[in-house]
Amino acid sequence: MPTSEMVLSESEVGVPGLHGRRPIVLWGTAAVIALLFGIAYAESLAYLVTQWMEDDNFSHGFFVPVISAGLIWWRREQIVAAGLVPSWWGLGPAVLGLALYVVGELATIYFLQHLSLWLVIVGLALAIAGPRATREMAFPLAYLLTMIPLPQMLQSSLSSSLQLMSSSLGVGCLQLIGVTAFREGNVIDLGPIQLQVVEACSGLRYLIPLIALTLLSAYLFQNRLWKRVVLVASAIPLAVLLNGLRIGLIGVLVDRFGQGAAEGFMHAFEGWLLFVLSLAILGAEMWLLGKVGTGSAPDVDRIVARPSTVSFGHDAFVVSGPVLACIGLLAVTTSMSFHVAGRDSTPPPRQNFVDFPMHVAGWQGEPVVMERQYVDVLRFDDYLLANYQGPGGPVNVYAAYYRSQEKGRATHSPKTCIPGGGWEITSLDEVVVLGDDVAGSGFRANRVMIQKGEQKQVVLYWFKQRSRVVTSEYLVKFFLLVDALTMKRTDGALIRLVAAVQPGEAEGAADQRVMQMAAAVQPLLPAYVPD
């Protein structure tokens, strides 16, 4: 059994005469690290906690750091036995993490800052304990990633896909038991009542916590590796199937007892009931997997809780060169954060969208006031929403301007917002909108065909980022980083036009109408979205 004598002595680490002062030095070093973390990552940590509190998909995040710390303490014997040897390898993850911190700050991406925090923690673990001991902490450290919310674009895209899958499964369950039901996008038609499978019912709030719980269960499941892999892999189809079953159950209750069965306590209770059922199924799966095969598994690193004879206190650690180097890098990055946070990002003067002309190239517009609930979600600084009527029919024009695209406050891609109203994207292409004046003076835009039942709409959208017209959501973030560094500007706008395909009208006619309107609107934008 390893003992405290196996830990590096003072002479071995080159810190002579430190024994009497070691507790003070170590606690002081820990305090400095905590202070630097608190200063550099205060904003991103506050956002992270807010997400845990407000987003049910990641409400389990509060428990993840506690679980990881508990697992490291549980494995303290194996960690110390591996040998706590300070290592310069810790600088690699620390440097990468701090580079991501700067990029995330300039590109206003919280996800990169959260990933940066995790990489710096891994770097410090390597610097303090060395590769062998850190390997013993690999799962607890990796498990911290489950507390980080997905990037909003990825989360919205995943949620949209799950909404469609859950809607299809729910309708299938209803039809299987003889209830007449049809699906139009994310809307389930029960005849007199229509149920909309909103984002909150997509199944993400089952899937993400269930995967986090299954990963922990698989780690603690004392059996062969392939059984652990099967257990984790089963969480995804299980969450999707149970969410589809839940939607089907809600449809049955609504069909029998009315709209109230899909609201309030009953709706929440059905969700909890299905989640508890999923846990029971996972428990049964673990039991069945445990019955497959006999004897002990040779490839399992068993974790056995027993009384420890290993010292895991302050004598196990030293303030080494690698640790001091990581602290120095963190201090430099923290000081840079003050400069970045205080940079002047004032865009050029602009006109307000309230002055946008309502008569454009033969089109007559009527402004529309957006509902407060959407304004609170989109968080723009100024917007235009108007219905324009032309010779060929109506076109809806929407533009959202952001004076400073800070973290958590930026343009929202229609690609992730469209499915929320029950619309299904049937095609997505990039097209060239030609200008009215000179051939070839046009710009590129995204053309989306959406459908809900028999209704069809042509959507045209693009991003105006300073002097650029951009169609890619990812390029928007890239140019945001470049312009923040070179121009000290992060302003920009989303422009979206919608033309409904009228009864008896060909899609080509709606296409032509929305393209003509886009060509007329684009030259007017620089006054409202400065180059």
Q: Is the pLDDT of residue 17 over 50?
A: no
Give the containing element (helix H, strand E) for 160.
helix 152-176
Q: Is the pLDDT of residue 41 over 50?
A: yes
Q: Is the pLDDT of residue 398 over 90?
A: yes
The pLDDT of residue 194: 62
Angstrom CA distances, 398 to 384, 386, 428, stand at 5, 7, 19
Angstrom CA distances, 29 to 167, 315, 348, stand at 54, 14, 46
Contact, 470 vs 463, CB < 8 A?
A: yes
CA distance 24 to 523: 66
Contact, 402 vs 412, CB < 8 A?
A: no
| Global confidence as pTM | 0.72
Non-local (6+) Cβ contacts of 258 within 8 A are 193
| 208-233 residue pLDDT tens | 888 888 999 889 887 788 888 888 88
Going by pLDDT thresholds of 50, 70 and 90, the confidence category of residue 137 is: very high
Going by pLDDT thresholds of 50, 70 and 90, the confidence category of residue 525 is: very high
CA distance 42 to 187: 41
Give the containing element (helix H, strand E) for 393.
strand 393-402
CA distance 410 to 491: 9
Among 294-308, 340-354, 406-420, name the one with the lowest average pLDDT.
294-308
Length of the chain: 531
The pLDDT of residue 14: 41
Whose tokens are 């996008």? That residue is 185
The pLDDT of residue 514: 92
* Structure tokens that stand for 354 in this block: 């309230």
* Structure tokens that stand for 76 in this block: 């303290």
| 75-101 residue pLDDT tens | 888 888 888 888 899 999 999 998 888
User: Which of 455, 405, 311 has the alpha carbon at shortest distance from 109?
Assistant: 405
Domain boundaries, the chain: 19-149+315-341, 153-291, 353-527
- Please tell me which residue, 311 or 152, carries the higher pLDDT value: 152
Whose tokens are 């004032």? That residue is 346
